[in-house]
Structure 1
Amino acid sequence: MKLKKRNFLSNKEKKKLYEELSSTFGDKAFHFFNKNDKLESAISDKGEKLILKDGRIWFFYYNDKLYPTIRCLRGTGIDISSAVVDIGAIKFILNGADIMAPGVISFESGIKAGDFITVKEEKAKSIIAVGLSLINSEDFDKGKKGKIIKNLHSLKDEYWNFQLD
């Protein structure tokens, strides 16, 4: 991935970014960055809108809504609602596949369709992907078939591997 355009965010733009994150993540948004962080707005060669911190992608836009990357969530330690997948599903998820019901071991309660959630692997419980839930948690049933999480970003993808030279 290459960047076509980059510029540092002003304090006013950071405040707007914080407000945008607050609408989705509430008080947790306060922990994503502080006012002294040097954040950059960027556009990729594919037209993707991104926010960088320390040369790494920290946030990305999907359907005009701002979401944190795995690197951001791991770096800040912020806990977001999650689903846990079995080992057999990991290979497919890391290749960008959406998360299917049979591969999910647990689905945190309180999740609504459309919520941004993390996908964790069962042994270390580390984040391997982030996405949007396609179902409500009360509708989760391991025996069901079909997609239950839209995979937006995973380890091994362009967002994870990106580093400014």
Structure 2
Amino acid sequence: MGRLSAIPLEYAHLRSPSTESRVMFKKFQPSTDISGQTAVKSSVQRSIRAGILSNWKIDSDTFESIWPKKENITLVKCRDHISIYALHGVPLFFQHFEGPFYPTLRLLHKYPFVLPTVRVDRGAIRFLLAGAHMMCPGFTSKGGSLPPAEEALPAETPVAILAEGKEHAIAIGITKLSTEDIKKVNKGVGVEVVTHLGDDLWALQKV
């Protein structure tokens, strides 16, 4: 990816390589970065199903339409301890180490309610699509938004990242501070991006 130029001062920190290197699917190549595929044991599938139902904003009937109980998923093992879970070759969700399960962005577009949402201002869009993590001011400035205090999200919550003027989520991330602390601190990384529109997971429609 080429160097960003003419960066406004309020976004200058987003070009730092250290803030981009942790995005999971940057320079991800299936031919070299997938080490194998294995069937998932029934007991593990039950555990995965229970974990997703308890953490996503989804009911069992809706989840059944995504992943029917009679269907077996496949674990796609990838570099850097990334696990992609696919149904009939279609990636549905993924996990890093033993962390939370994230829906793919394509799945999120079909079921946009499964994750809580945050929104960045219009000026952050090109940096987000380049793989930069999102700084607190992107959510607190005009055009950005966070849940109200009564619906505050704790740190380490998977979120859908929307952008000013855009209907659908353009990325998925995980909060590094609570949403109330993002408002109060208003500096540093607020949400780490794990996948975004146009990255290599987005391109991976079948495995």
List gaps (5 residues or longer) in structure 1.
Answer: none
CA distance in 2: counterparts of 1:107 and 1:37, whole angstroms: 37
Partner of 1:83: 118
Partner of 2:202: 160
SS of the residue corresponding to residue 141 of structure 1 reads helix
- Summarize deviations over 1:64-108 as a string: whole Å, max 9, x none: 122222122222343421111122211111121101122221011
The offset of 1:45, in angstroms, is 4.7
Partner of 1:118: 160
List gaps (5 residues or longer) in structure 2.
Answer: 1-28
Instruction: Report sequence identity in percent.
Output: 23
Moved more, 14-23 or 117-126: 14-23
CA distance in 2: counterparts of 1:102 and 1:18, whole angstroms: 35
CA distance in 1: counterparts of 2:164 and 2:40, whole angstroms: 38
Task: Map 1:1-165 onto structure 2 (within 5 A).
Answer: 1-2=29-30, 3-25=34-56, 28=58, 30=60, 31=63, 32-65=66-99, 66-104=101-139, 105-109=144-148, 110-141=152-183, 144-164=186-206
Greater fraction strand: 1
**CA RMSD between the two structures:** 2.4
Distance 1:89 1:28, change over 3 A: same
Moved more, 62-71 or 2-11: 2-11
In structure 1, give the amino acid aligned to 2:67: F
Distance 1:90 1:47, change over 3 A: same
Larger radius of gyration: 2
CA distance in 1: counterparts of 2:182 and 2:114, whole angstroms: 21
- Summarize deviations over 1:33-77 as a string: whole Å, max 9, x none: 222445211112554211013433211112412222212222234
